[in-house]
Structure 1
Amino acid sequence: MSSCLKLIVILGVHFRIVFCSSAKRQFEIPKCCPIGEQFNDSMACVTSNSIPENWEWVINNSIPLNQEVTFSPSSPTILGNAHLSCPSPSRAILLHGIDEFRLLIAESGRLHLNVLVYSTQERDQMVTYTESFCFDARTKTAIFCPCSKLPCVRKCCYDGFVYNGSVGRCVDTGHDDVGFWRPTFQAGVAEEGYYVIGNRRPSCESGSATVITSSNSTKFAVGEDGSVKVSGYPQAVPWHEYCGDTGMLLVCPGRLRTEVRKFLIYGVLLLIAGALLIGVVITGFLLPSKVAKKLHNLVFAAHNSMLATAYVATGVAQIIPNKRNAACFSLAFTIQFTFLAAFLWLNVMCIDIAWAFSGLHSPQGSAVERDHKKFILYSVYAWGTASILSVITATVEFVPGLAVGSPLKPNFGRRACWFEKPAATLAYFYGPMAFLLLANLMLFLYTATRIILVRRDTAILNSAGNTSGSAIRKNRQRLVLYVKLFCLMGLTWITEIISWAVGGADYYWYITDIVNMLRAVFIFVIFCCKRSVLNLLRARLASFLPCAKRLTHGKSGMSLSGPTSSLQLTTSIKKSTRRPSQDT
């Protein structure tokens, strides 16, 4: 306890004596390393029991926010191994005596970090951080997370140094006014300040960073999230994948991968692919109702409708500018949901054909009722599973404080209208997709094994004219149809996953990208350009299209199915009183 004596004189006549007291409180110093450790010259924590810790530089630079509360400077409380909420690449280092910052002591005894930041306005300003910072006694440094409050940009070198691309390192300019790089921001951005993290190279996942030189045709502008937009390129580069210096940017390979026309071409091709798949869906519903309402045709239509929507959304995402807004978020979730739903419906086809040969009981009721019940179950599975994955993704993306700084954070809109990090892409997209491809392969192998086991009985049933044997034959033909679709979807997507995992220059994968976009053309040709399907469509449209009536005139006796026709594969499965497994 300390006391003070105040003598108050009023108009030279009256006076009074007031005794006051205040407690000297201890304040807390968050330490970067655990107790008993300090930073070495490489800023790594090492055991330092033999080296005393001198915190005078912190104590002498600490100012109480409330001047009426005093603190004991001799024995501060040291909190070892302080937690920082940002990953290492996002942390900034402040050097005592060089960088401008102050320490403020709150009434609770906790320190606040008051840091000078730059602004696009005329005057720079101080910003206070109340958490996510720590100190080291030996190196007299403070480490904090500046990007939690402000946009961050990286300078490749410290002030007074510039990056030399020919030697690949920072060189001393010898002049204080040279190498003092500050970026150009987009209009209205960083008016409340921004922070420059010095001497920090981009954290590239593979390869060496590329130097982009500023010129009359190449301009750089930083956005509100710290990403940089380079003129002539459609996608902004995330702030942690570039650094800037005088007249140049150092950018990770692949970030500025191509010019706008490539994305425009890809977008147009994807939109055409989506239109073709929509044509496939419409063709299926224009077939006679008894054909269109078959379970496998409904499943096929659901698969193609999801794939068509995915292509259209991806095409739009390729064409529109990259912005972190509601439209970009909507496109990202649509692409994820529809592609996963398309693969789940492909998985439904595999489950359905395996069910036909498994011996498991079908739902009760007539053939139409059984198909209806199955389709409801399949819909709940396919669309429900895709919805669950999308909800998980949205939760991680939008819930405050969840997965902050984690590679599993989707961060839609930072890299493009898609996942920012490979780990997130794997967890929420390619991982489930690869699992479904493997599951489909296992189901096909199981079904093929069942067919081999019942082949002898099937031959006997067919020779006797048994309708169940005929049903098995039709199911085998349906299996061939599904195998074609699986190969078309599976093989092309395997190359897509490989190209994503391996990486490299974009032109390595131009051929596989084009083949993937042409899969819709293959599906359209296989399932719509068959003579049998065209004849059915002409017959269907003959009642209200005179030209179609003339085309079908005199051909009513034409056979609409053959040994290898698509119509036979998709519509000739007859109702059977016995399930295929009962003939085994």
Structure 2
Amino acid sequence: MEYAQKKLPGNRTLDNYAIFGKIVLPPMETKISLTRWVKIVSCIFILLTIIVYAILPKLRNLFGKILLSYCVAMFMLFFVLTITQFFQQDFSNSFCKFVGFSLIFFSFCSFTWMHIICIDIWYSFGSPRTISGPLQRNEMKKLLLYSVYGWGFPMLWVLLILFFNDTKLLPKSIQPYVGYDECYFENYDNRKGNYAFSIFITLPLILQQIVNIVLFIRTVRHCIRVKSEIRRMDDNNRSRNDYQAGKEKLYLVLKLGVVMGMLFLFETISAIRKMDVNPITEHIEIVWDTINCLQGLFIFIIFICKKKIYISLCEKWKMVRGYSPTSTTTPGSIQSTCTNEETLNLEEKTWTSTQY
């Protein structure tokens, strides 16, 4: 602040005050201005993951298609979030409501497909089962059932929220509000005494995470038992390959669970406790949200940054450029190729089952 005084005729004075200050963005605006660009980075890496899984035939088995569906759900979630943070001020009321329900849908889809990944790993390696019929037909049947659950359950849940949102049948304490004050499900930070967010969003996701943990523990116990049996009985290569495939998939779901768990844990804490009560928690929220918004990068590292994926991409690139993936055939190599054909097929199956 500056002060100046000017003498005027007649023993009069003119007092002037000037106040200077630095404009500081509120923490919420700082967080949005930062995380929306980080979300774009995540969208790019998730899209790259989808492209790799789409162009490599070796990744298009049942488990690969499940991972691809999960990536599609995550991409749409981050894409809608990014669009919302950039253009929310231009949304009409009806479009804001549509965006809010879209965010709920794709959020539930991402967690549900994560749940399906745990179910499939448990069913494949941690549960007693009998397999009947051709393998391809069984995989198509399982993929259909998974898709009905992975996309159908979130859709039914969103329709249920939409019904209660529009009819106002529930008490105000558990009445859902979507698209009124913001383009998402409003919690009790916006509406005091309303716990609909905890009931319709937090509770179902907690139940899914509990089931995921139980399935993971059961699968780990089964793999430990199989490993001890292999050591004791000196079992054949097929059992060893099955065990190795199960172990690598468990590592994948563990890393993916840590990434998704970070998001879910912090979102749950944010819904229960306000983070803007003091500057320290405000800055913690900004840092944590930035890390969560990098999930696309983490997914790319977990799914794609592997030596076998790199080799397959190099082979695919050579085929696109017109290079032959096999060397020139000579009379002496024909017999060797025929002799090793069965071995190569076995290696191909082993690579496909253990690439994750």
The alignment's TM-score, normalised by the length of structure 1, stands at 0.47
> Is the partner of 1:431 in helix, strand or coil?
helix
Give unpaired runs (5+ residues) of structure 1.
1-231, 234-255, 555-566, 575-584
Say whether residues 1:519 and 2:295 are aligned partners: yes
Q: Alpha carbons of 1:390 and 1:456: their partners in 2 closer, same or farther (altered >3 Å)?
A: same
Say whether residues 1:540 and 2:316 are aligned partners: yes
- Distance in 1 between the 2:235 and 2:296 partners? 42
How much has 1:325 moved relative to structure 2? 1.7
Q: Is the 8 A contact 2:38 2:293 kept in 1?
A: yes
The equivalent position to 1:337 in structure 2, one of 102, 105, 122, is 105
What residue in structure 2 maps to residue 112 of structure 1? none
- Distance in 1 between the 2:95 and 2:85 partners? 13
- Distance in 2 between the 1:524 and 1:407 partners? 41
How much has 1:509 moved relative to structure 2? 0.8
> Is the partner of 2:176 in helix, strand or coil?
coil
Give unpaired runs (5+ residues) of structure 2.
1-23, 189-194, 277-281, 328-347
Say whether residues 1:270 and 2:36 are aligned partners: no
- Distance in 1 between the 2:34 and 2:350 partners? 36
Aligned Cα root-mean-square deviation (Å):
2.8
Say whether residues 1:507 and 2:283 are aligned partners: yes
- Distance in 1 between the 2:128 and 2:248 partners? 20
The alignment's TM-score, normalised by the length of structure 2, stands at 0.76
> Is the partner of 1:320 in helix, strand or coil?
helix
Q: Alpha carbons of 1:445 and 1:267: their partners in 2 closer, same or farther (altered >3 Å)?
A: same
Q: Is the 8 A contact 2:126 2:220 kept in 1?
A: no
How much has 1:569 moved relative to structure 2? 9.7
Counterpart AA for 1:477:
E
In terms of fraction of residues, the more helix-rich structure is: 2
Counterpart AA for 1:538:
C
- Distance in 2 between the 1:453 and 1:464 partners? 13
What residue in structure 1 maps to residue 9 of structure 2? none
What residue in structure 2 maps to residue 471 of structure 1? 242
Say whether residues 1:412 and 2:171 are aligned partners: no
What residue in structure 2 maps to residue 354 of structure 1? 122
What residue in structure 1 maps to residue 51 of structure 2? 282
What residue in structure 1 maps to residue 352 of structure 2? 571
Counterpart AA for 2:208:
L
Counterpart AA for 1:484:
K
Counterpart AA for 1:258:
M
Task: After superposition, give the CA deviation of every residue in 1:484-536 in whole Å (9 maximum; x if it has no partner).
Answer: 21122123421232233222213331111011011211111232233321221
What residue in structure 2 maps to residue 530 of structure 1? 306
Q: Is the 8 A contact 1:267 1:317 kept in 2?
A: no
Q: Alpha carbons of 1:309 and 1:361: their partners in 2 closer, same or farther (altered >3 Å)?
A: same
Q: Alpha carbons of 1:368 and 1:433: their partners in 2 closer, same or farther (altered >3 Å)?
A: same
Q: Alpha carbons of 1:484 and 1:571: their partners in 2 closer, same or farther (altered >3 Å)?
A: farther
Q: Alpha carbons of 1:464 and 1:445: their partners in 2 closer, same or farther (altered >3 Å)?
A: closer
Larger radius of gyration: 1
Q: Alpha carbons of 1:460 and 1:285: their partners in 2 closer, same or farther (altered >3 Å)?
A: farther
Equivalence map 1:251-266=2 (5 Å): 258-259=28-29, 262-266=31-35
- Distance in 2 between the 1:485 and 1:354 partners? 15
How much has 1:553 moved relative to structure 2? 9.6
> Is the partner of 1:408 in helix, strand or coil?
coil
What residue in structure 2 maps to residue 443 of structure 1? 215
Q: Is the 8 A contact 2:53 2:60 kept in 1?
A: no
How much has 1:304 moved relative to structure 2? 0.9
What residue in structure 2 maps to residue 163 of structure 1? none
Identity of aligned residues (%): 22
Q: Alpha carbons of 1:331 and 1:421: their partners in 2 closer, same or farther (altered >3 Å)?
A: same
Q: Is the 8 A contact 1:337 1:390 kept in 2?
A: yes
Q: Is the 8 A contact 1:269 1:315 kept in 2?
A: no
Counterpart AA for 1:533:
I
Q: Is the 8 A contact 1:481 1:569 kept in 2?
A: no
Task: After superposition, give the CA deviation of every residue in 1:527-559 in whole Å (9 maximum; x if it has no partner).
Answer: 22333212211212322236xx59x899xxxxx
In terms of fraction of residues, the more strand-rich structure is: 1
Q: Alpha carbons of 1:570 and 1:487: their partners in 2 closer, same or farther (altered >3 Å)?
A: farther
Equivalence map 1:284-433=2 (5 Å): 284-287=53-56, 289=57, 291-322=58-89, 323=91, 325-362=93-130, 364-399=132-167, 401-403=168-170, 406-422=172-188, 423-433=195-205
Q: Is the 8 A contact 1:267 1:315 kept in 2?
A: yes
Q: Alpha carbons of 1:370 and 1:442: their partners in 2 closer, same or farther (altered >3 Å)?
A: same
How much has 1:468 moved relative to structure 2? 2.9
Q: How many residues align?
A: 300
- Distance in 2 between the 1:478 and 1:569 partners? 13
- Distance in 2 between the 1:455 and 1:543 partners? 39
Q: Alpha carbons of 1:497 and 1:413: their partners in 2 closer, same or farther (altered >3 Å)?
A: same
Q: Alpha carbons of 1:428 and 1:362: their partners in 2 closer, same or farther (altered >3 Å)?
A: farther
- Distance in 1 between the 2:128 and 2:290 partners? 41
- Distance in 2 between the 1:270 and 1:570 partners? 33
The equivalent position to 1:452 in structure 2, one of 214, 219, 224, is 224
